[in-house]
Structure 1
Amino acid sequence: MAHRMHIDASIKLLGKVLFGFKKGPEVLNAVRPTEEPLVDNWDCLKTLVRMFETNYGSLSQYGMKHIRSIANFCNAGITEKQMINASSQACPAFPSNFWSSIYNGFSE
């Protein structure tokens, strides 16, 4: 349960760091029309998911619900460098618990 709360809070905080307190929740919850793909750049999505898991721990099955939010980061033009900077502000310590990518690797 603690890991789920950590993942939820981390995604929300990243949205606020990247887009501001007002626009962050809008970007996180945006849904594209059904005829459009989830993300324009699949490599960006893969990169940002890996970066998230490196900094915050494995998304696990539960965290897959946040893939749309991470895709929205890519669709908004967030770069790898911006994600690194935002992650360092939002999570200054590398996770070392059971859910860390050190122990579980990355989500497939």
Structure 2
Amino acid sequence: MLKDSLSFHEKLPLNRKLFHARCCANILNLLVHNGLFEIEDITDNVRESVKYITASTVHLTMFNDIIKQLQLTNKRLILDCCTQWNATYAMVSCVLEFKDVFLPYA
């Protein structure tokens, strides 16, 4: 609004680009999304693996049995929301904790 009201009164320096500033959170979000784009194949495979296991009670029961045999924590698998990078991070970090459980599915 300030940018628009000032443009009516006088010519702004740098063609009004001085008033276009991004916040730190937006910059971080853009950086992370660019990084995730680079490893999109990996995150897609992880997402599909989590969907495969959680879609069936039989698969989920087998997965939980392997967790108990390996004496791992009782965490649950997390399926992300593709548009929220922090959810993708949570999904990947959870799957990394269960990487030994995923080996029989490979």
Give the TM interval when normalised to the shorter protein.
Answer: under 0.3
Larger radius of gyration: 2
> Which TM-score applies when normalising by structure 1?
0.27
Greater per-residue helix proportion: 2
* Higher normalized contact order (CA 8 Å, seq sep 6+, divided by chain length): 1
* TM-score (normalised: structure 2): 0.27
